[in-house]
A and B are shown apart, each in its own frame.
Chain A
Amino acid sequence: MGNVRPVLIVALVALGCFNLCYGGEEFSEELLLRPLPDRKVLAHFHFESTTPPTKDYGHHHHLFPKAIYQLVHKFRICELELSFTQGRWNYERWGGSDPISSSNAKPPGVELWAIFDVPLDHVDATWKNLTHTLSGLFCASINFLESTTAYSTPAWAFQKSSGSLRYGALPREAVCTENLTPWLKLLPCRDKSGLASILDRPAIYRGFYHSQRLRITSNEFGSEGIEPGIDLEQTLTIVVQPDDQRTSMSYSSGKIQQPDWSISSIFGRKISGTCVLARSSSVFLELESTLVSELNKVGVDNAASDGDITFPGFELSVAPVRVIKERRSSSVLFEFSVDKYHDDNPLDIGVKWKHPVVWSCVQAPFQANRFLLGSGNERGSIVISLRSTVSQRIFVGDEFGDGCEVQVVIFQVVPWYVKIYFHTIQVFLDGQLELTSAVIEKIQVSPSEDRVSPGVMEVALRLPCSTMSAVITVNFDKGFLHIDEYPPDANQGYDIPSAVVRFPDIQASSHYLGDNSSLDSPILSKFQENNPVLSYTEVLLVPLATPDFSMPYNVITITCTVFALYFGSLLNALRRRVGEEERLLKQKAAGKTALLPLILSKLSSKLRVRSHESHKSASPSPLLSNKLIMKAILLAGLAVAWHFYFG
């Protein structure tokens, strides 16, 4: 009886427990797969942990990572986003205006921004401490963002904020597994089970692009909250090229066959069940609207199919649980639930293309690029070019009239040693120089201060929809660094972080057909959020004049030698008794001549000639100058020897 009772209690508790005992802490895992037009595949992992506010719930958690909770409370973080990226998102081929590309395509290296709930004069100190903590947490050199020259305070161009936002980027940070492991540690199941278990490290780092992102949204401090206390969103976006299983490529009708792929062919593993702690665990396969319309065209031609699960143009190896359609465009989401699958029956979603298809991605109205002009180590100019994506005009709006305008907001941070002359901003529309006041709607610059703060440029442009290209140029001078400010690989050049280009008028959101209860998936609700389209430009590499680093010591040595020579000769000139020395020499010579005949008589005539020569050379003035020269040479030799051995 004594044994039975605890069992009973446990059983009773267990019955009503599963949701109750987590008390509102939730974790969900999702994976979105999407074929890309250039024969690549996008895999987007989305993990989300939420916890209720502390004042109701206390500070002991069951699922929510302790580290993040303590981070939020120690630094009073309202919002934070940290991303580690390797490779550059190809906006042209992989899309530019869908939710994934505008919120998960990140600049290379590390990007960190945070909004704090602290008094404005404490924000900088909090930011510095935060960078150090994150640096330790994620094994990255985020602590370099501590210095005031490395971060900036965007006023309005990056996000609407009230002065407590800080933004910093490290374009040259190398991202690897040591950053991924701590990121995975924040998941309750880590990569032991669930969707994260397919994260094969070589497969990830072999890819063309990968970006791991961490976003914290907290409602802990003050403001009225309907949302949960802290929301931790972790995403990992990978673009990989699947191994082409079919060697023969079909070039019929001039189209390249898309490669067939499956989860196991991309990652080398299959999904063997859910993470038992996840509330929901599902995999989505997305077909973009342009692809769907292409497939439909093909599908009309070849309606016949033999597989169980067939769609026009391709085959799926696993039947989806349901098909979700986008409301505006006609993109399609196939949902697969992982619940049914386990070790013995793993999930391996595969796509087999039946016909070659060619499509292009949905792009942002303008494609942003940035490059440098000029040569030499003195000056140059930065150019941001916006090229219209002509075929995508539908996004700008149906009306093509004169009244149609697109707002473009550019936010650019440049380090202080690239000294931007903001008065030299020029805007060219379709190759024509325009009056800046006519095009620039709003501009805010904060010039850089040497070794104190970077230069920040926030520009809002209003461009007519018919603009084919817009080019903004700005000139800069290259500054000089102190000897101790050069990085170890100074000759490589200096990276200027990516500029952010925002299109506030255009929302990157997808709205799916279906009632809200069926669309409670966190990833889909994220996609439905209204966020403006965002894209990043390239990182610039500016070469600066690099000195010879042994120069200071060389300068010291040579200056000292010159001074010593000067001083020595001055002293000599003051001290010497020239007349006296001459007399002495004569005495010597006299003495010698008195003795010489004795010696000379014994020497041959040849020797006599030589001695005569020596007499000549012993005449006072040439000897003096010779002595001086000898001394100088000796001193120089000493200096050289000193420099050689001790320098």
Chain B
Amino acid sequence: MAEIEETPQPSTAEPHQTPQTPLLSGAIADPNPNNTRSTKPGLKRLIMISTVLISFVLGLPFLLKSIEIYRSPLPFRDIESLGDRLESIPLRLPCRFQAVFLGFEGGSSGLLFDVEKLGFVIFDEMRELSRNNGKCGGCDTNYTVSVTLESGAGCVMNQGSAMPSLWQCGSYSELDDRLKDDDEGIDEWLDSMLGRNNGDSVDGGKMYTVVVMNRDEEARIVVGKHRHAWIRGRVGEKYAIDKVANIFVKYFMNGGKEDALVKGEFMPVGADGRIVLSFSLLNADPRHWIYNWDFKRIEEVKLFPIIKVLSSVANISVESQVLYYTPKSSFSYWDEKLSSFIFSTKDLPFFVNSNEWHLDTSIAAGGRSKVLQFVVYIPSAEECPLLLQLPNGEISSTNGFISPMWGGVVVWNPPGCSKNSKNEHHPISNTLSPQDLQKVLEVFTGQLRQLFGLKSSNQYDSHTGIFSFLGSESGFTEWELDALLRQHACFNLISCASTLGSLSRLVQSLPRMIIMDEIGKQVMLSLQAANLAENNASLGIYEASTVSSKQARALAEDAFFHPSIMSISYYSFEHCFAIYTPFFLPVLLHVVLAAVKECKRYKKSTLSTWLGGHKQSRIVVTLMLTQYRHGKIPQEINFYYGVGCLPASDIVTYG
């Protein structure tokens, strides 16, 4: 009872007003004598707490905004759609085909019927041949075959094709004179006839022609160096149709490629669309002999045409060097029968001696250019002549090999090397004769073709029965270049799409990575170029399509390898969390707990006000008193009735 005595006793101030509840009045009465309040009790603190809490909640977006890092918006959806589009339907460019039959007599139902029928038959045959041929960079599937039939009787074209035939009727009469020429002459004559309308400006793709000349001589098939082939001799209709379809599909459509020789993904073209052809002359041991070459002249004569024709596939630059003391790292053995040193194809992986052959990447080639090494290896006197043995036991005619994506090696044996007794102290200095260098360069041209996925040289094809191919001076015929262009356009776009896809996945997986505006711009430009390439492809403009696809790929790579992406110092979310937690965690704990308490309290006080408002308080109080006397007063009730949520003024009024 000592504690009660200590408390101020408001009951002493008003002893007669509440005689029945002396204890209660002492407990509930407001200690504040100024008890005229207009607002509901407890609201002040609740408002204060909720203001703090709300300001925290409202401040959160500002905080997040202030610690946000700059990310240039990337068109994720466009990137995804480009990838999906290219994956579902690989890019194919439209091609047109034309078959010209000369000197065939029409059937009984008239020439017109034959022409229509021939068109369908060839088309069906081609469909059959190119069925499992969904390759990237092939021809569009809805191609047309136009057929022209000319004989002494007249000249008929089929109506099915929308494209006008390039063959000019009436040329049949010239045929006899022209066929006296050799193949080259015929090729040029056909080109002058067919090629004049087949310029780049023609929409809808390139036109490929096979001319079948029915003559009284042995059958002979020639594929020219432009966009046509011809069959001359005694040929039946069925044979002719079969051959025509074969030539169309195998050569004009697919570029005469051997399957899976070089996969499309391994294009020997740098990401920036450049190739550096680095030619090296290796003198294995200059103490025996030293060879040099006049590379400047051979570059002008042999390499410039190749660079020119491939310019739409890649920008090519050429450099050369002569190196000394560069032994090979594989072994060779002496073969008595051939009286020469032999290295076999098994040794090839070890032939290139990367320790001693410091071929070097080029300083002149910037960034992501592809360097293709072409090496002429001159063996030392101890291993001369050095020959390459093929797996079937024959000696390689080129004496060279390629390594895909790296380049090629040719072993050149100095003339009369076995006779040359080695002269240790005074080596002979020689120059590769122009003829030898020409031969070496021809091998290199073949190797370059192989690196691009073509056959090293087209020869007699027993399967199709093609008699000969005419080679171009530049090493690449027009129809091969068309196939290369188609393929590169497709693979460039696929590579661009996959690079952009990786970039977008990376960017999305690292939400706190800074993305510069420049990257966003490069991605936009890359997508634009890719769209342009697709448009050009659908229109059949091969060069423009390849060029813009190359650009798209280069830009995508630039964006992906941007130096700012390469930096690893991201301000990670964990870092951010670690910095702000020591402040916000304890503070928020306080605020939230206080807010919860105040809310609870407010709820209860409103409840008690409600009770008081219904004039029940007196009953409750009496009830409580009785309970109290029995010693059964519950703690909570004691708390909120006794401690003052129930304003004393109310009690006083109603009591």
Where the two chains meet, the residues of A that have a C-beta atom closer than 8 Å to any C-beta of B are 3, 6-7, 9-10, 13-14, 17-18, 21-22, 58-63, 65-67, 70-71, 73-74, 133, 137, 185, 188-190, 192-193, 273, 276-277, 342-343, 553, 556-557, 559-561, 563-565, 567-568, 571-572, 574-575, 577, 579-580, 583-584, 586-587, 589-591, 593-594, 635, 638-639, 642-643, 646-647
Check if A61 sits within 8 Å of B638, measured CB to CB.
no
CB<8 Å pairs between A and B, sample of 22: A6-B433, A17-B292, A21-B429, A22-B292, A61-B322, A70-B319, A133-B363, A137-B363, A276-B427, A277-B286, A556-B582, A559-B583, A561-B586, A567-B587, A568-B586, A572-B594, A574-B48, A575-B45, A583-B644, A587-B27, A646-B581, A647-B578
Q: Which of B31, B321, B416, B587 contacts A579 (CB 8 A)?
A: B31
Q: CA of A643 to CA of B583 in the docked complex: distance in angstroms?
A: 12
Q: Are the C-beta atoms of B631 and A594 separated by less than 8 Å?
A: yes
Q: Is the CB of A62 within 8 A of B325?
A: no
B 325-364 contacts with A by CB, 8 A: 325, 358, 360, 362-364
* Alpha-carbon distance between A594 and B638 when the two chains are bound, in angstroms: 14
B651 at the interface (CB under 8 A from A): no
Alpha-carbon distance A58/B590, docked complex (angstroms) = 81
A17 partner, pick from B4, B360, B431, beta carbons under 8 A: B431
Name the residue of chain A whose CB is nearest to the CB of B23: A590
How many whole Å from A588's CB to the nearest CB in chain B?
Answer: 9
Contact, CB under 8 Å: A189 / B415: no
Select B319's contact among A9, A59, A559, A580, beta carbons within 8 Å: A59
Q: A193-B287, A342-B424, A575-B49 are in contact. Are A13 and B579 (CB under 8 A)?
A: no
> Which residues of chain B have C-beta atoms less than 8 A from A185's C-beta?
358
Which residues in chain B, 34-85, are within 8 Å of chain A measured between CB atoms? 45, 48-49, 52
Bound: A73/B322 CA distance, A:
19
Closest Cβ neighbor of B32 among chain A residues: A579
Cβ contact of A639, chosen from B286, B586, B594, B639, cutoff 8 A: B586
CB-CB under 8 A from A61, the residues of chain B are: 320-322
Query: A561 to chain B: which residues have CB within 8 Å?
Result: 582, 586
Q: How far is the CA of A185 from the CA of B359 in the complex (A)?
A: 10
Interface string of B1-14 (1 = CB under 8 A from A): 10110110000000
- Across the interface, name the chain A residue whose C-beta is closest to B363: A70
Cα(A553)–Cα(B580), bound, Å? 11
Instruction: Please pick, from B287, B290, B416, B582, the residue contacting A642 in the complex, using a CB distance under 8 A.
Output: B582
Asked if B123 is at the interface of the complex by the 8 Å CB criterion, the answer is no
- Using CB atoms, name the residue of chain A closest to B327: A192
Q: Which of B49, B431, B635 contacts A13 (CB 8 A)?
A: B431
Binary CB contact string for chain B from 306 to 326 against chain A (1 if under 8 A, 0 otherwise): 000000000000011110110
| Minimal Cβ-Cβ distance residue in B for A579 | B31
Q: Which residues of B contact A6 (CB under 8 A)?
A: 415-416, 433, 436
- A563 and B583 contacting across the interface, CB-CB below 8 Å: yes
Query: B295 on the interface (CB 8 Å rule)?
Result: yes
Measured CA separation A36–B638 after assembly (Å):
106
B364 touches A73 (CB 8 A): yes
A63 to B635, CA, bound (A): 104
Q: Is B598 a contact partner of A575 (Cβ separation < 8 A)?
A: yes
**Is the CB–CB distance between A188 and B324 below 8 Å?**
yes
Q: A151 to nearest B CB, angstroms?
A: 20
Contact of B360 among A67, A342, A572 (CB under 8 A): A67
Question: A residues within 8 A CB of B325?
Answer: 189-190, 192-193
- A10 touching B578 by the CB < 8 A rule? no
Chain B residues in contact with chain A, CB under 8 A?
Answer: 1, 3-4, 6-7, 27, 31, 45, 48-49, 52, 286-287, 290, 292, 295-296, 299, 319-322, 324-325, 358, 360, 362-364, 414-416, 424-425, 427-431, 433, 436, 578-579, 581-583, 585-587, 590-591, 594, 598, 631, 635, 638-639, 642-644
- Known: A18-B429, A60-B296. Contact between A587 and B364, CB under 8 A? no
| Residue contact A3 to B594, C-beta cutoff 8 Å | no
Least Cβ–Cβ distance between A623 and chain B, in angstroms: 14
CB-CB < 8 A to A67: which residues of B? 360, 363
Partner among A9, A63, A579 whose Cβ is within 8 Å of the Cβ of B433: A9
Residues of B within 8 A of A563 (CB): 583, 587
Inter-chain contact B7/A66, CB cutoff 8 Å: no
What are the residues of chain B within 8 A of A60 when measuring CB–CB?
295-296, 299, 319-321
4 nearest A-B residue pairs (beta carbon): A560-B582, A560-B583, A564-B586, A192-B325
* Complex Cα gap A3–B417 (Å): 12
With both beta carbons as reference points, the residue of chain A lying nearest to B361 in the complex is identified as A136
Partner of B429, one of A14, A70, A564, A571: A14
Q: Once the chains are docked, how many angstroms separate the CA of A553 from the CA of B575?
A: 10
**B427 to chain A: which residues have CB within 8 Å?**
276
- Distance between Cα atoms of A638 and B424 in the complex (Å): 84
**Residues on the A chain within 8 Å of B591, using CB:** 571
Taking A185-B358, A571-B594, A575-B48 as contacts, is the C-beta distance between A62 and B322 under 8 angstroms?
yes
Q: Which residue of B lies closest to A568 (CB)?
A: B590
The CA-CA distance from A65 to B321 in the complex, in Å, is 8
